[in-house]
Amino acid sequence: MSDTGHHPSREQLQELVDACVHCGFCLPTCPTYDLWGQEMDSPRGRIHLMKQWLEGAPLTDASVTHLDRCLGCMACVTSCPSGVRYDQLITATRAEVETTYPRTRRERALRGLIFGLFPHPRRLRALRAPLRLAQWTRLDRLAGRTLRRIAPGLGAMATLAPRPGRRERLPARVDARGTRRAVVGMLTGCVQREFFPQVNAATARVLAAEGCDVVIPPDQGCCGALSLHSGRRDEAVRFAERTAAVFTRAGVDAVVVNAAGCGSAMKEYADLGVDAPPVRDLSEWLTELGPVATRHPVPATVAYHDACHLSHAQGIRSAPRQLLSAIPELEVREIADPEICCGSAGVYNLLQPQAARDLGDRKAAHVAATGASMLVSANPGCAMQIAAALGRAGHPLPVAHVAEVLDRSVTG
């Protein structure tokens, strides 16, 4: 296997760009067009910038700014009647930007810090204790304010960080309850594993209750999603190869993923030239499998938030709603403008803090308007982002993963 995976050629990129007929149907679903209303911050405009680059124009500060501002939410891919593969275009263009465009020292430092930290669960773990102390002493707020002034990206990092849940050490294997129906691997993720360990525990319990042997390889690392979606392709391929190897060795029917961004990246492994067992999002897997475990009532009204990497990138919208609606006494409410991103978008909220904050505030207002008593999503990034925005708006809500709600219903 090559160490760079499959790079689209310039001819292939040109073909992808030519598929755009400039109809503009993508504009209203683009979060940044929604924010600023200007062409170059829309998918159609960004494709035009890519076209200029393919025609020989150099990448300028201005064009890179607009490409950087794309959240990679893929809402435009859903809305495009011409079938333009903007997802492939932005990934390839970002890789080009990262290799040929000289970034400022400050930007390089921030990116270096982010990519030196998030894809590495052990380094994230090292942060847990100081973070808890800072949050307990309220020092984080001061740090957030100061940092926002001198380095907005780092400031966002400080204020977005969740209160780390109690660490639950997961065994390497959880046996199915009752008759075994499948053997699945479980991706524990980086952020999910260190900051939302209770979500992984709930996922394993639900899978076991539905008759799955759950294999949780302790030596798994980052799946490569953050790197892939930020144009760090070679790094992404290295992570992908390692993750694929771990789960292939485990001999599982499928790898079940509870973080939308990770699942979406793992479904792109084939494009990177990496072979791996089939990948399923948790809700997708559970709907395919069909329920056997008894559902106990969970009397609550929840608002369900579509994570972009679940709805747009993986096309999964009805499965989580079906699973939630099947829980007795649970009411699911829809959030207005569900196709618009919350602004989290992987590490976007660290790289473009102001845009992310504005989008988060809009999303929080729509969530608050549902009158629900809890927000449910299927991605750790969205959960942190919307929880922070709801807090800012003075409307704090508990945030849960689909797995946690199911766990509560199944466990009774």
Provide the minimum distance between the beta carbon of 281 and another protein in the complex, in angstroms, as a whole number. 22
Output the smallest distance, CB 38 to another protein, in A.
Answer: 6
- The distance of Cα 99 from the centroid of its chain, to the nearest Å, equals 24
What is the distance between the alpha carbons of residues 83 and 311, in angstroms, rounded to a whole number?
Answer: 16
Q: Shortest distance, CB of residue 92 to another protein, whole angstroms?
A: 18
Q: Which residues bind another protein (CB under 8 A)?
A: 18-25, 27-28, 36-40, 44-45, 48-49, 52, 55-57, 60, 62-63, 66, 80-84
Name which of 84 and 375 has its Cβ closer to another protein: 84
CB 322, min distance to another protein, A: 16
Place of tokens 């899978």: 207
Distance, first Cα to last Cα, the chain: 48
- Which CB atom, from 17 or from 330, has the smaller least distance to another protein? 17
Rounded distance, CA 286 to CA 168, Å? 23
Give 28 or 338: the residue with its C-beta nearer to another protein.
28
Shortest Å, Cβ 134 to another protein? 35
Pick the closer one to another protein by CB: 1 or 23: 23
In DSSP notation, 142-183 reads HHHHHHHHH-HHHHHHHHH---PPPP-PPPSEEPPSSS--EE
By C-beta, is 9 or 137 nearer to another protein? 9
In a 3-state reduction of DSSP, which class is residue 377? strand
Compare residues 58 and 290 and give the one whose CB is closer to another protein: 58
CB 372 within 8 A of CB 168: no
Which CB sits closer to another protein, 17 or 382?
Answer: 17
Show the beta-strand stretches assigned E in 157-263: 173-174, 182-187, 212-215, 254-257
The answer to whether residues 333 and 371 touch, using CB atoms and an 8 Å cutoff, is: yes
At its nearest, how many Å lie between another protein and the CB of residue 30?
A: 10
For the bound state, the minimum distance from the C-beta of residue 396 to another protein, rounded and expressed in Å, comes to: 28
Angle, CA of 198, 343 and 307, to the nearest 5°: 50
Determine the Cα–Cα distance for residues 324 and 318; give it in Å rounded to an integer.
Answer: 10
